């Protein structure tokens, strides 16, 4: 199984923006939930945002609502995470994940529900 491939992490100052990308195999991407988790040092991995690629419905954790936007390019089997107004507490390794066959609203927060993962991309926000 080809893994999910993330890109786009980096270092920014507080208030800045970054855009992450996640490319998935076509059979994983289409008609499925694609989500982002993040894990800060010493903390558990937490669900951040999800999108159902079948019709584009989205769900967000309260901590990122109104700052982060998930979107998709259906033709490229790619989801994007646009992160604006970044805060130091957003610093974490960000992981793209997908279940074997998800259904909306794509808000399952436990890692055990996800079969496919990327290698992660680091986001660092300095104050």
State pLDDT tens for residues 86-104: 999 999 999 999 999 999 9
Q: b/e map of 101-116 (b: 16 or more CB within 10 Å)?
A: ebebebebeeeeebeb
Asked if residues 119 and 9 have their Cβ atoms less than 8 Å apart, the reply is: no
DSSP string, 42-65: TS--EEEEEEETTT--EEE-TTTT
Provide the 8-state DSSP code for 27: H
Residues of the chain with pLDDT under 70: 1-2
Model pLDDT, residue 1: 61
Which residues pair with residue 125 across a beta bridge?
Answer: 12
């Amino acid at each position: 199984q080809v893994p999910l491939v993330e890109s786009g992490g980096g270092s920014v100052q507080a208030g800045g923006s970054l855009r992450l990308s996640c490319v998935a195999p076509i059979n994983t991407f289409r008609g499925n939930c694609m989500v982002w988790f993040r894990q800060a040092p010493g903390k558990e991995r937490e669900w951040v945002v999800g999108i159902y690629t079948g019709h584009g419905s989205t769900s967000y954790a309260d901590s990122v609502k109104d700052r982060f936007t998930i979107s998709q390019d259906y033709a490229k089997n790619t989801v994007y995470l646009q992160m604006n107004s970044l805060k130091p507490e957003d610093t974490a390794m960000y992981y793209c994940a997908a279940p074997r066959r998800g259904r909306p609203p794509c808000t399952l927060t436990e890692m055990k529900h996800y079969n496919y993962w990327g290698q992660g991309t680091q986001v660092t926000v300095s104050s």
